[in-house]
Amino acid sequence: MNYQHHWVNGEQIALGPGKAVCVARNYANHARELGNPVPASPVLFIKPNTAFVDLNEPLRLPRGQGSVHHELELAVLVGAAFSDGSAAAAPVAVAGYGLALDLTLREVQGGLKEKGHPWEMAKAFDGSCPLSSFVPAEKVADPAGFRFQLSVNGELRQSGQPADMITGIFELMSFASRHFTLLPGDVLLTGTPEGVGPLSAGDQLTLTLQLGREAALLNHEFKGSVM
């Protein structure tokens, strides 16, 4: 695979791409928009590193398998091994923060759910996890202050912030680490806000990640396109 993690200044990160640990329904409004119950505890699934692609590269959607939906998520890059750790200890294991698209074959997922089958064919296919470059963790005083959004062809589709998560960033890292050791180069996807929808060939994507309100302390814009 050709994918490598990068910092926002363009430098390659000396961490090989690992797995993505993802959470479903971590925003109550997103659970409701798909008619799903709000879970009592995080619902986790994994994408392999073959799902990773650089958001700067044109996205290739699967053909003949129904609609592919975008799910915008705040992504946490793991920089140190973290296993069965507490939320208080989680920040020291974080290398950086960025954005991800959890691409989902929606009709395939619906069929799998009806049969009680795992979701991997709908969620973990090759190229299903486009990633932006990452902001170093030391530049982020409080990740709870992040705001992020996705526009498609100039139309705002999704907007979110950690304050609206059911399970916060570090609590989610702690929960995930009880089940899967998080290794350097892994990425934790923290859930998607409402507004998910289909992508089509030719779509132009703009993803923004901000920290701070009136005068942003950090403001990054990432561009993507769909083939």
pLDDT digits (tens, 9 = 90+) for 127-167: 999 999 999 999 998 999 999 999 999 999 999 999 999 99
Query: pLDDT at position 34, please?
Result: 64
Task: Name the residue among 22, 34, 127 with its Cα closest to residue 74.
Answer: 22
Query: pLDDT at position 36, please?
Result: 73
Question: In whole angstroms, what is the distance from residue 30 CA to residue 165 CA?
Answer: 10
Give the residue ranges of the chain where pLDDT is below 70: 1, 30-31, 34, 213-217
Could you state, in order of their start, the residue ranges of all structural domains in the chain?
Answer: 20-225
Instruction: Report the CATH number of the 20-225 domain.
Output: 3.90.850.10
Query: pLDDT at position 215, please?
Result: 45
Whole-model pTM: value is 0.95
Contact 149, 208 (CB under 8 A): yes
Query: pLDDT at position 121, please?
Result: 97
DSSP SS3 for 123: helix
How far from 112 is each of 72, 106, 115, 116, 134, CA to CA, in Å? 22, 10, 5, 6, 33
Task: Name the residue among 16, 2, 189 with its Cα closest to residue 104.
Answer: 189
Task: Name the residue among 34, 85, 57 with its Cα closest to residue 222.
Answer: 57
